[in-house]
Amino acid sequence: MTETPSPIRVNRAPVLTLWAAVVARRLGHPAATAWSLAGVVAGTAARAKARRLGLAGEAEGGRDRPAAAAGDTLRLLGRRIVLTRDADGVVLAESDGRPAPAAPVAAYVARAFGPRLAEVRAAMEALAGGMAPAELERVGFRLYEHFRPEVPADVRGWGAKGVLDPARIAAAAGQPG
């Protein structure tokens, strides 16, 4: 008899972070760049949600400034991200005027998912791998919206954990983009 795995209870932020890293890798970015980009994507999404819920003012949203004068940029899951290089020349996302380090982002995701990380990552990689990169970039955030954990839409949902079902990740491939 096969045991049903326990539900994966997790906040939405690490789910979005892992998904952004998986998408960035599928788009051809090296691991360090992907983790750095993912951290910035999740951070900008969290700040936008905090403003929408009235938990942060517009002044705190200044870090989401347009990336016009900064040099190289790219879009990932609908977010425009400024690129920079660290002291070793590795391309990273810029956050608060500095390179956003990759290692803390990867460690955060590992802590959030614990022993279920490989399972969730494999489901996300299968979803991302089944799409052409251009299509994935076009619909990537909407795919995330199909499988992310359900939490209350109001302030009660801020930081709340919901259930992430790896089967919903796989099923997202059939969702309209």
- Residue 158 gets which letter from DSSP? T
Cβ(78)–Cβ(68) below 8 Å: no
> Is the predicted pLDDT of residue 2 greater than 70, yes or no?
no
Relative to beta strand 161-164, strand 98-99 is: unpaired
User: Which range among 9-13, 16-20, 105-109, 140-144 shows the weakest confidence by mean pLDDT?
Assistant: 9-13
d(CA 11, CA 18): 12
Cβ(24)–Cβ(76) below 8 Å: yes
Q: How far is CA 161 from the centre of its chain?
A: 16
The model's pLDDT over 78-91, given as tens digits with 9 standing for 90+, comes to 999 999 998 999 99
What confidence score (pLDDT) does residue 158 get? 66
